Structure 1
Amino acid sequence: MHARFIAVTLASLSLASQALAWGCFGQDCNQAANQIAFSAPQAESHSGKTKASAWEPTPGQGWQWASCGTGDEVVDIDSIVVSPDPPVPGQNLTVRAKGTVKDEVSDGTFADVVVKLGLIRLLARRFDVCEQAREANAEIQCPISAGDYELEQTVALPREIPPGKFNVHVTGQNQDGSNLLCLDLSIQFGFRR
């Protein structure tokens, strides 16, 4: 369940980076974002060394997350680990998440995702959580029972992600109107190698 939310978030990041790189905005980007987020091309191998720059994130510090909720949310995230860290544009990113779902999640549940590059808002989008899980043929499908979950999801990051720090804010509501989750992510991308 939690990896699914992270995958949705990364799909938003993919969509935002495509919008920034290609000037793609609106409904035309939806299909591209899903293709980018849920396909898995072979990771490229890079040989040779490059100089580090101010844009190069420190290994193990390219990804940060924090719960911004009050503790009464339906989804309580314990941990999120990404590999590689820092994420690399044009390569696969594997997200492993652990947490607890406190109440059933079913149709009518949505997540709101806002992606910013620095202070510039790139994307604000609402996702139907159950519909996204069905379309991606996710491991867990709605209705999702209360319980502890540990999931893994691999997404392909587009090569066009520009260097910089992306900030992602995720909130949502469960089908009964209760708060689904509140999550802040910070993802630092360096220059492509």
Structure 2
Amino acid sequence: MKYSLSLISLLLSGLVAVEGLSIFGDSQKVLGGGAVPGDNPLTFCQETHDDDLLTLEKVDLSPNPPKAGEPLYIKATGTLKRDITVDDNAIVDIVVKYGFIKLLSTQADLCEQIKNVDMECPIKKGPITIMKEVQLPKEIPPGKYNVHANAITTDADKKEKDHITCLEATVQFGG
């Protein structure tokens, strides 16, 4: 499961942080907000994401679809509208399902996860580029995976949480 948490965090946290379970395959279902630009199976969770702190410009995975036992190369670019600091208490809520079976439901500290992509908090406002190579385990079971990852700030001093970004993917891995 460390691979799942890490890969989702890379895409969200460096863009907002990960290094993990590669669940991305060759099948994509557009869920609500449209496809994330680039060669990837990601979609935005909602139709409107103009208020997100992170504007994702492009995410490329190579190979796409990834292959078990081989390296996955990730390149993601975006623009952060404001600094994200430790005081923001930024988190990433992640749910991974294998078909209808929930494999993982967790909440991760964004500033901890961002270290997996050689970044640290504060994450400075402006352009962000993440490049990461992840060695995928050959034991990844083939099948349909559903992923939902939502990154927000949870600063107690603010009345409202700031939405960083939310991504989803429904993919078929292997077989």
Structure 1 length as normaliser, TM-score?
Answer: 0.65
**Equivalent residue, structure 1, for 2:65:** 86
**Equivalent residue, structure 2, for 1:40:** none
Which one has a larger percent helix, Structure 1 or Structure 2?
A: 1
Matching of residue 5 in structure 1 with residue 6 in structure 2: no
* DSSP 3-state at the match of 1:95: strand
Matching of residue 68 in structure 1 with residue 74 in structure 2: no
**Equivalent residue, structure 1, for 2:108:** 127
Question: 2: CA distance between counterparts of 1:144 and 1:115?
Answer: 26
Residue 114 of structure 1: CA displacement? 0.6
Provide structure 1 residue ranges, at least 5 long, that are not aligned to the other structure: 18-55
Equivalent position amino acid for 1:146 in 2: K
**Equivalent residue, structure 1, for 2:81:** 102
Question: 2: CA distance between counterparts of 1:95 and 1:143?
Answer: 22
* DSSP 3-state at the match of 1:97: strand
Question: 2: CA distance between counterparts of 1:3 and 1:79?
Answer: 16
* DSSP 3-state at the match of 2:66: coil
**Equivalent residue, structure 2, for 1:45:** none
Query: Once the two structures are aligned, what percentage of the paired residues are identical?
Result: 34
**Equivalent residue, structure 2, for 1:44:** none
Q: What are the superposed Cα offsets for residues 39-85 of structure 1, whole Å, 9 maximum, x if unpaired? A: xxxxxxxxxxxxxxxxx948xxx941111243211112121110111
Q: Which stretches of structure 1, 4 residues or longer, exceed 2 Å deviation after superposition?
A: 2-11, 185-188
Count of aligned residue pairs for this structure pair: 144
* Distance change >3 Å, CA 148–CA 63, structure 1 → 2: closer
Asked whether the 8 Å contact 1:3–1:153 carries over to 2, the reply is no
Asked whether the 8 Å contact 1:9–1:113 carries over to 2, the reply is no
The match for 1:186 among 163, 170, 174 is: 170
Residue 160 of structure 1: CA displacement? 1.4
* DSSP 3-state at the match of 2:42: strand
Asked whether the 8 Å contact 2:149–2:167 carries over to 1, the reply is yes
**Equivalent residue, structure 1, for 2:95:** 114
Matching of residue 171 in structure 1 with residue 150 in structure 2: yes
**Equivalent residue, structure 2, for 1:161:** 140
